[in-house]
C-alpha cells in the first residue's frame, strides 16, 4: 500500500513538473509576441446564446477558429481589440480547453454592432501592445490588503502573472474552493512566489476549462 502511494505521488510530481515546463514555454513566447498591435485574424462566425442560469443578463459568444487563436500570444486569458461588423471594443478572450479561445459579447456590444444571435458576424481580432491590468475581484483585494507581504509581491509581478492568479481563483466551481484559493494565493505570494503554481491557464492539460454550452 505504501509503495502504491509513493508511485502515485511521483506521478503527481512528474505531471506538475511537465505542466510547469509547458507553461514556462508559453509564457516565454508570449512575452516576445506582445510587442505591438497586430491583427491576428478576420473571420465570420455565428453568434451563439449560452445556456445561462436564471437571472443572468443575456449575452452571446463565439468560438474563435483555431487558426486565429494560434496567432495569439498565449493560450490563457488574453485581452484583445475586437471589431464586430466594424464596431470596436476591448475584450478578454477566454480559453476553451481545446487550445483555442472563445469571446463573450454583451447584448449592448452586439446591438451596437448590428449583430443578431443565430446569425453570422464579421470579426477582426487585434492584439494589444501589452496585457492591460486585470480587474481585481473584491474578495481578493480585501485578502491582499490584509497581507502586506502578499500585496508587495503581487504589486511586483507582471500583469500576465496577475491575470493567471485571478483566473485560477475565479475558475473555482464552489465558493469554498474559491475562498481556499484566495488564502493559498496570499500564503504563496507572501512566501515570494510570483506565479501561480501548477495552474493550466489553457485548460487543455487539466481539462478544467471549456466554452459555454449552447442554449437549446
pLDDT tens string 53-106:
666 789 999 999 999 999 999 999 999 999 999 999 999 999 999 999 999 999
pLDDT of res. 46 = 97
Residue 61: inside a domain: yes
Q: Where residue 90 sits, what CATH number does that domain have?
A: 2.40.30.100
What would the mean pLDDT of 127-132 be, rounded to a whole number?
Answer: 94
Residue 4: inside a domain: no
Residue 19: inside a domain: no
β-pairing, 101-106 vs 59-63, is antiparallel
Residue 202: inside a domain: no
pLDDT of res. 24 = 46
Residue 211: inside a domain: no
Domain count for the chain, please give it: 1
Residue 30: inside a domain: no
Tracing cell 501548477 back to the chain, one arrives at 198
34 has pLDDT over 70: no
Residue 160: inside a domain: no
91: containing domain: 36-127
114: left (phi over 0), alpha (psi -120 to 50) or beta: left
What would the grid cell of residue 175 be?
465558493
Model confidence, pTM: 0.80
Q: How far is CA 85 from CA 40, 113, 118, 127, in A?
A: 16, 6, 15, 18
Residue 119: inside a domain: yes
Amino acid at each position: 500500500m505504501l509503495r502504491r502511494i509513493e508511485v502515485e505521488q511521483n506521478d503527481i510530481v512528474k505531471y506538475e513538473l511537465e505542466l510547469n515546463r509547458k507553461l514556462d514555454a508559453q509564457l516565454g513566447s508570449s512575452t516576445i509576441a506582445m510587442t505591438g498591435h497586430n491583427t491576428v485574424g478576420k473571420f465570420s462566425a455565428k453568434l451563439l446564446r449560452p445556456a445561462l442560469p436564471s437571472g443572468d443578463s443575456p449575452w452571446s459568444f463565439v468560438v474563435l477558429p483555431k487558426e486565429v487563436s494560434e496567432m495569439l500570444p498565449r493560450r490563457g486569458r488574453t485581452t484583445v481589440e475586437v471589431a464586430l461588423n466594424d464596431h470596436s471594443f476591448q475584450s478578454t478572450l477566454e480559453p476553451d480547453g481545446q487550445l483555442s479561445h472563445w469571446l463573450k459579447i454583451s447584448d449592448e456590444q452586439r446591438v451596437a454592432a448590428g449583430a443578431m444571435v443565430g446569425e453570422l458576424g464579421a470579426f477582426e481580432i487585434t492584439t494589444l501592445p501589452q496585457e492591460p491590468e486585470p480587474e481585481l475581484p473584491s474578495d481578493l483585494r480585501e485578502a491582499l490588503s490584509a497581507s502586506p507581504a502578499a500585496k508587495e509581491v503581487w504589486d511586483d509581478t507582471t500583469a500576465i502573472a496577475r491575470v493567471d492568479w485571478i483566473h485560477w481563483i475565479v475558475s473555482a466551481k464552489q465558493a469554498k474552493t474559491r475562498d481556499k484559493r484566495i488564502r493559498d494565493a496570499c500564503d504563496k505570494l507572501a512566501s515570494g512566489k510570483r506565479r501561480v503554481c501548477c495552474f493550466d491557464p489553457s485548460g487543455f492539460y487539466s481539462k478544467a476549462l471549456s466554452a459555454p454550452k449552447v442554449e437549446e
